[in-house]
Amino acid sequence: MIGIISAMQEEMQTLIDNLKEPLTIVKGMRTYYKGNLFNTDVVLVFSRWGKVASATTVTQLINDYKIDHIIFTGVAGAIVEDLNIGDIVIGKNLYQHDLDASPLYNKFEVPLLHKTYFETSSTHSNLLFQASQTFINSYTDWIDIDKAKSFQISVPSSRLSDIASGDQFISEQQDIIKLTGELPTVSCVEMEGAAVAQVCFEYNIPFSIIRIISDKANDNAHIDFPKFAKEIASQYALGILKNYFN
């Protein structure tokens, strides 16, 4: 069974709408939707924003269901110039950019685990990357072109790359410069992925992450996030996962 998590209801509403024979359970102010998606048994849940909320959600998910693989899907902000709105990042390594337990530990190192990042499952991530490329090749089957243009999406691309998570919005250029200097392999930032990856590591559950770029994570980021999540990101998730499951 596959667990699929998003931070916002809008990011996964399309998945919920396509779920067959759904059964819902409410725990800890979260609704877990169990059912079948593209002939695959899944549990869907939106975690709310931030590392604590997402870690709590995935822990409950793992303990309540026989989960074989966790996929997180949602939006992220780009911190490299060649990544644009509408592009897809399939995560490789997940860092907590706001973690600093020095001088007892090196910056970014998780205490006691002796890890500065958490690896995604290479097998699943490579398959998701292939699924994302297939999605892009049939982009107009999933995304209304006028809606894409309204969010300044032209020709989307997909890549495998590192991702950084933290309980803050990165919007100042000086913060981006600092972050890219300390973590040069990271291409985008968000608020949940590395926390979910840590929980999956501790429970020995394969983890993958799909991030759709919603903004450039700078002073010019004025996007309507709920609208982008509902009209663009949720459709991306549906299309990519259909390719992945099939």
pLDDT at 13 over 90: yes
pLDDT at 14 over 80: yes
Q: How far apart are CA 31 and CA 25, in angstroms?
A: 6
Q: Is 11 a catalytic site residue?
A: yes
pLDDT, average across residues 199-215: 97
Which residue of the set 87, 190, 192, 215 is catalytic?
A: 215
C-alpha to C-alpha distances, 114 to 93, 195, 200, nearest whole angstrom = 15, 15, 16
Query: How high is the pLDDT of residue 115?
Result: 97
- Tens of pLDDT, residue by residue over 78-137, are 999 999 999 999 999 999 999 999 999 999 999 999 999 999 999 999 999 999 999 999
Q: Is 119 a catalytic site residue?
A: no
Residues in the chain: 246
Q: How far apart are CA 171 and CA 176, in angstroms?
A: 8
Sequence ranges of the domains in the chain: 2-240
pLDDT at 218 over 70: no
51-65, 147-161, 167-181: lowest mean pLDDT where? Answer: 167-181
pLDDT at 69 over 90: yes
Please, what is the average pLDDT of the chain? Answer: 94
Query: How high is the pLDDT of residue 154?
Result: 87
Which residue of the set 11, 109, 192, 231 is catalytic?
A: 11
The CATH architecture assigned to 2-240 reads 3-Layer(aba) Sandwich (3.40)
Q: How far apart are CA 203 and CA 11, in angstroms?
A: 25
Q: How far apart are CA 85 and CA 233, in angstroms?
A: 11
SS (H, E, C) the chain: CEEEEECCHHHHHHHHHCCEEEEEEEECCEEEEEEEECCEEEEEEECCCCHHHHHHHHHHHHHHCCCCEEEEEEEEEECCCCCCCCCEEEEEEEEECCCCCCCCCCCCCECCCCECCEECCHHHHHHHHHHHHHHHHCHHHCCCHHHHHHCCCCCCCEEEEEEEECCCCCCCHHHHHHHHHHCCCEEEEECCHHHHHHHHHHHCCCEEEEEEEEECCCCCCCCCHHHHHHHHHHHHHHHHHHHHHC
Query: How high is the pLDDT of residue 5?
Result: 98
